[in-house]
Amino acid sequence: MRKLSEIKKSFLASIWFMFLTFPIMVIRVNPIEKVVEWRWRNMVFVGVGSFILSFVWRYMIRQKESGLKKNRADDRHKTPFIQRVREERRLFIPLIAVLSVLGVSFPFIFSAYQVNIMTTALMYVVLGLGLNIVVGLAGLLDLGYVAFYAVGAYTYGLLNHHFGLGFWAVLPAGAFMGALFGILLGFPVLRLRGDYLAIVTLGFGEIIRLVLENWNDFSFGPSGIANIDRPSFFGAQLSLQNATVYIYFLMIAIALFTVFVVNRLQNSRIGRAWVALREDEIACEAMGIDKTKTKLSAFALGATWAGMMGVLFAAKTTFINPASFTFLESAIILSIVVLGGMGSITGVIIGAFVLILLPEYLRAFSEYRMLLFGAILVIMMVFRPQGIISNVRRTYKFAGINISGEQSK
Amino acid sequence: MKPVMEIKKLTVDFGGLRAVDHLDLDVKEREILALIGPNGAGKTTLFNCITGIYAPSEGSVFISPPGGGTGTINGLTPNIITRKGITRTFQNIRLFPNMTVLENVMIGRHCRTRARIAGAVFRGKATEREEKATVEHSYHILEKIGISQYVNEFAGNLPYGAQRLLEIARALATEPFLLLLDEPAAGMNPQETGVLDALISKIRDEENIAILLIEHDMRLVMSISDRIAVMDYGKKIAEGTPEEIRNNPVVIKAYLGEEFVA
Ligand SMILES: Nc1ncnc2c1ncn2[C@@H]1O[C@H](COP(=O)(O)OP(=O)(O)OP(=O)(O)O)[C@@H](O)[C@H]1O
Ligand SMILES: [Mg+2]
């Protein structure tokens, strides 16, 4: 009985899909011979394919739901695999060793093209970790994060163009400008929450982009700034090949630095205040936390990393224009945080690699690339809505009154 | 005994509704003062007004903490009022559900600690020491309240009674001189209420804290209160010892009901 209704549902789904894809999959106009081709065979493929897919899909959903019901009781005591890896030295140390060997040898094994992709992925790790402070920890939905990235990039672009300042001189300036703009955005949105905050930050991102696009005297408008200097190596300019490798290692260093700082921040008095703010704003204030300071510090510290990455982006591509800083960029960084797991450093790192590397390596599937990518994201969010790594909090071990705070990294 | 908080002619309006109406109330040093009254009498609104969540339309709240720093707290933000030593629990539990029990209490320590961003990143000696002290202090409070077995659990996963106790633990971590408890026994079974009864008296005796308590459980109120104030339609209709309140005809009519006396 149940089987029959399942088959009926899948059948309806396949009919619906055949109908939807009819114009693109079946009809083809051949402009040369001026005839219309009717590719009925495609319709059969679509029908059978969607029938099977919908059947499997609903089977998996059912499995997941019954699994949830069964596991709910002992779910709490089951440590997820990735957390277990972090806790057990036997697993953790070899993993780190393998990763570092891979990371160091990467540019010597793979082509400059691959190294570039990896550098980009590392940049998004840092961007993700920065936005994670604002969205994941403090719970402030910021859809205009790309604005700070743009601020950093233009800080370097303009200072380099007008005054010839080098990468290393501007890197801290970019971080500072990011923080400054973070506070600038923070002030007007202090009283806003949820949807309203999202809309205003979205607007802020667009304003920055539009200003850059239209204020020709200042930012050179849509044509942007070209011939920006690459980072120098102790004063020496490098060839393109060497510069690629150099920036790669630079990015590894910055990513490690970011992980170190963000990890310390999140396990600190300030970090706890951010999370409390996310959990319950009224209780947070009633417990003596200054909401204003806490929100502004989250905005500023989140934007700092975007400012830094902006400088690096400008130095890496040697050309910037407003088109690089659209809303899509904010959306990708936000997806990294949500996909990885809000508030989890490991999660954001994995999320960044998945979201940046996957589309690159899916290029083999040419035009189906983005379709596959979208499907993978949807499946991820259906089966793991809490992200790759869900909320993990620091635990403390107590032996009677003798207390030793011990961290499970 | 001298009062630690004096409320004078406090009035709170919501549009046309006067939720608190020219209320006068004193809380004295080391006393347990219960605030009772029918639903919608304005008790929680009074708490919200004292703690700075709502602004009064009239009247003032004057504090004289044992440690000094007398003055009115009108117009101060909730976090400043907490730092001045008035802290509260919520009628509808408002914990930080996705933080651990210990972290919830550590949040209470926030206003008594000082590590800043630079301290968090460089984690110098002073920060380390402060962090360790925060953990120890928080754990100590959990032990005293009797929920230390849950230390690393998520607050949202705790049983209901334990969540109520955790709210008290978190409030105590802010080192108040005045603790406002909004229906701490709501939803507790008689055994848990018994534990709470002993706990509230213990807090008053050992910590030298005055307690203002909203509660509908009359057995609890009558057994631990030094004084009771009764509110109805935003006004204070009676004040006195449990004995006086029990026999006050106005209170019986407005709130306790005839069967309570019988
Ligand atoms: N934010 C608000 N806006 C408008 N009206 C409010 C607001 N908060 C409370 N009220 C109203 O004020 C009155 C007093 O509410 P309050 O919550 O203080 O009662 P209470 O004495 O705590 O009752 P209970 O015993 O049910 O908790 C009620 O009529 C309530 O509807
Ligand atoms: Mg109430």
Q: Which range among A70-74, A121-125, A218-222 shows the weakest confidence by mean pLDDT?
A: A70-74
Q: Is the domain of A304 the same as that of A261?
A: yes
Q: Is the domain of B241 the same as that of B140?
A: no
Q: What is the per-residue pLDDT for A343? A: 86
The closest ligand to the CA of B42 turns out to be 1
Q: Is the domain of B102 the same as that of B61?
A: no
CB contact under 8 A, A264 and B121: yes
Which atom of ligand 1 has the smallest separation from the CA of B38?
25
Q: Is the domain of A36 the same as that of A167?
A: no
pLDDT band at A404 (very low <50, low <70, confident <90, very high): very low
Which residues of chain A neighbour B102 with C-beta distances below 8 Å?
Answer: 396
Domain that holds residue A29: 2-75
Once rounded to an integer, what is the mean pLDDT over residues A287-309? 95
pLDDT tens per residue, range A348-368? 999 999 989 888 887 777 677
CB contact under 8 A, A265 and B87: no
Q: Is the domain of A207 the same as that of A324?
A: yes
Work out the mean pLDDT of chain A and round it to a whole number.
86
Within a domain: A101: no
CA distance B89 to B66: 21
Which residues of chain A neighbour B139 with C-beta distances below 8 Å?
Answer: 396, 398, 403
Q: Is it the case that residue A407 has pLDDT exceeding 80?
A: no
**CA A281–ligand 2 middle distance (angstroms):** 19
Name the residue among A282, A290, A394 with its Cβ closest to that of B94: A282
Pairing of strands B17-28, A402-404: unpaired
Contact A313, A324 (CB under 8 A): yes
Which residue's alpha carbon is nearest to atom 6 within ligand 1? B14
Which residue's alpha carbon is nearest to atom 9 within ligand 1? B45
pLDDT tens per residue, range A134-146? 999 999 999 999 9
Query: With an 8 Å Cβ cutoff, is A286 touching chain B?
Result: yes
Q: How many domains does chain B have?
A: 2
Which residues of chain B neighbour A289 with C-beta distances below 8 Å?
Answer: 79, 107, 110-111
Q: Is it the case that residue A71 has pLDDT exceeding 60?
A: no
Q: What is the per-residue pLDDT for A100? A: 87
Element of type H or E holding A151: helix A146-163
Q: Is the domain of B183 the same as that of B221?
A: yes
CB contact under 8 A, A285 and B78: yes
Q: Is the domain of A185 the same as that of A130?
A: yes
Higher pLDDT, A299 or A383: A299
Q: Is the domain of A147 the same as that of A200?
A: yes
If phi > 0 it is left, if psi is from -120 to 50 it is alpha, else beta; for residue B157 that is: alpha
Q: Is it the case that residue B69 has pLDDT exceeding 90?
A: no
DSSP assignment letter at B256 = I
Query: With an 8 Å Cβ cutoff, is A268 touching chain B?
Result: yes
Residue of A nearest to B134 (CA): A269
pLDDT band at A80 (very low <50, low <70, confident <90, very high): low
- Domain final residue pick, A75, A97, A121: A75
**CB within 8 Å of chain B, chain A residues 248-267:** 261, 264-265
A contact test, residue of B51, B105, B110, B175 with most A CBs within 10 A: B110
pLDDT band at B259 (very low <50, low <70, confident <90, very high): low
Q: What is the per-residue pLDDT for B124? A: 86
pLDDT tens per residue, range A225-256? 999 988 887 777 778 888 899 999 999 999 99
CB contact under 8 A, B170 and A287: yes
Higher pLDDT, A42 or A292: A292
Q: What is the per-residue pLDDT for A77? A: 47
Q: Is it the case that residue B202 has pLDDT exceeding 70?
A: yes
Query: With an 8 Å Cβ cutoff, is B45 touching chain A?
Result: no
Q: Which long-range contacts (CB under 8 A, 24 or more apart) does A20-24 make?
A: A21/A46
Look at chain A and count its residues: 409
Q: Is the domain of B54 the same as that of B181?
A: yes
- Domain final residue pick, B121, B156, B175: B175
Alpha-helix residue ranges (DSSP H) falling in B37-152: 43-50, 78-84, 101-108, 117-122, 125-145
Q: Is the domain of A166 the same as that of A58?
A: no
CA distance B95 to B151: 14
Q: Is it the case that residue B172 has pLDDT exceeding 80?
A: yes
- Domain final residue pick, A48, A75, A102: A75
Q: What is the per-residue pLDDT for A76? A: 46
Once rounded to an integer, what is the mean pLDDT over residues B185-207? 91
Q: What is the pTM of this model?
A: 0.87
Q: What is the per-residue pLDDT for A73? A: 46
Higher pLDDT, B109 or A1: B109
Residue of B nearest to A391 (CA): B98
Within a domain: A81: no
Q: What is the per-residue pLDDT for A403? A: 43
Within a domain: A216: yes
pLDDT band at A408 (very low <50, low <70, confident <90, very high): very low
Per-residue tokens: B158: 């705790």
CB contact under 8 A, B102 and A396: yes
Instruction: List CB contacts of B28: < 8 A, sequence separation 6 or more.
Output: B1, B2, B3, B4, B210
Q: Is the domain of A243 the same as that of A339?
A: yes
Which residues of chain B neighbour A136 with C-beta distances below 8 Å?
Answer: none
Query: With an 8 Å Cβ cutoff, is B3 touching chain A?
Result: no
The closest ligand to the CA of B48 turns out to be 1
Q: Is the domain of B171 the same as that of B190?
A: no
pLDDT band at B176 (very low <50, low <70, confident <90, very high): very high
Nearest CA among B10, B16, B28, B3 for reference residue B74? B10
Element of type H or E holding A257: helix A240-266
**CB within 8 Å of chain A, chain B residues 105-144:** 106-108, 110-113, 115-117, 119-121, 123, 127, 130-132, 134-136, 139
Q: Is the domain of B193 the same as that of B258?
A: yes
Q: Is the domain of B189 the same as that of B261?
A: yes
Within a domain: A119: yes
Q: Is the domain of A179 the same as that of A322?
A: yes
Q: Which range among A97-111, A152-166, A384-398 shows the weakest confidence by mean pLDDT?
A: A384-398
Which atom of ligand 1 has the smallest separation from the CA of B91?
27
Once rounded to an integer, what is the mean pLDDT over residues A150-174? 94
Once rounded to an integer, what is the mean pLDDT over residues A85-92? 72
Domain that holds residue B156: 94-175
Contact A380, A338 (CB under 8 A): no
Q: Is the domain of A267 the same as that of A124?
A: yes
CA distance B251 to B238: 7
- Name the minimum distance, in Å, from the CA of B139 to any CA of chain A: 9
pLDDT tens per residue, range B125-157? 889 999 999 999 999 999 999 999 999 999 999
CA distance A302 to A181: 11
Query: With an 8 Å Cβ cutoff, is A76 touching chain B?
Result: yes
Q: Is it the case that residue A74 has pLDDT exceeding 60?
A: no
Residue of A nearest to B113 (CA): A269
Q: What is the per-residue pLDDT for A70? A: 59
Which residue's alpha carbon is nearest to atom 7 within ligand 1? B14
Q: What CATH number is attached to the domain comprising B253?
A: 3.40.50.300
Which residues of chain A neighbour B95 with C-beta distances below 8 Å?
Answer: 279-280, 283
pLDDT band at B67 (very low <50, low <70, confident <90, very high): confident
Query: With an 8 Å Cβ cutoff, is A272 touching chain B?
Result: yes
Q: What is the per-residue pLDDT for A366? A: 67
Within a domain: A409: no
Q: Is the domain of B70 the same as that of B46?
A: yes
Nearest CA among A245, A264, A281 for reference residue A345? A264
Phi (first) and psi of residue A274, to 5 degrees: -60, -50
Q: Is it the case that residue A204 has pLDDT exceeding 60?
A: yes
Q: Is the domain of B108 the same as that of B60?
A: no
- Domain final residue pick, B159, B175, B191: B175
Q: What is the per-residue pLDDT for A86? A: 67
Q: How many domains does chain A have?
A: 2
Q: What is the per-residue pLDDT for A39? A: 84
Q: Is the domain of A185 the same as that of A314?
A: yes
E strands along chain B, which residues? 3-14, 17-28, 32-36, 58-63, 71-72, 86-88, 178-182, 210-214, 227-232, 235-240
CA distance B135 to A129: 26
Q: Is the domain of B154 the same as that of B191?
A: no
pLDDT tens per residue, range B224-235? 999 999 999 999
Which residues of chain A neighbour B121 with C-beta distances below 8 Å?
Answer: 261, 264-265
**CB within 8 Å of chain A, chain B residues 157-186:** 157, 170-171, 174
Question: Pocket around ligand 1: residues whose beta carbon is below 6 Å from it?
Answer: B 14, 17, 19, 37, 39-45, 91
**CA B159–ligand 2 middle distance (angstroms):** 22
Within a domain: A103: no
CA distance A282 to B31: 27
Higher pLDDT, A394 or A114: A114
Within a domain: A88: no
Alpha-helix residue ranges (DSSP H) falling in A267-385: 269-279, 281-286, 291-317, 327-340, 345-361, 369-383
Q: Is the domain of B158 the same as that of B195?
A: no
Q: Is it the case that residue A369 has pLDDT exceeding 80?
A: no
Phi (first) and psi of residue B81, to 5 degrees: -60, -40
Q: Which range among A342-346, A376-380, B13-17, B257-261 shows the weakest confidence by mean pLDDT?
A: B257-261
**CA B18–ligand 1 middle distance (angstroms):** 10
Q: Is the domain of B171 the same as that of B182?
A: no
Name the residue among B96, B132, B136 with its Cβ closest to that of A275: B96
Nearest CA among A37, A101, A165, A80 for reference residue A350? A80
Work out the mean pLDDT of chain B and round it to a whole number.
92
Once rounded to an integer, what is the mean pLDDT over residues A369-376? 77
Q: Is the domain of A257 the same as that of A366?
A: yes
Counting ligand 1 atoms within 8 A of each CB, the residue from B12, B13, B39, B44 with the most, and so the one to mutate, is B44
CB contact under 8 A, A268 and B78: no
CB contact under 8 A, B121 and A265: yes
Which residues of chain A neighbour B103 with C-beta distances below 8 Å?
Answer: 272, 275, 393-394
Q: Is it the case that residue B262 has pLDDT exceeding 70?
A: no
Instruction: List CB contacts of A121: < 8 A, sequence separation 6 or more.
Output: A352, A353, A356, A357
- Domain final residue pick, B175, B206, B229: B175
What is the ipTM, given to two decimal places?
0.93
Q: Is the domain of A40 the same as that of A182?
A: no
Once rounded to an integer, what is the mean pLDDT over residues B75-91? 95
Instruction: List CB contacts of A42: < 8 A, sequence separation 6 or more.
Output: A25, A26
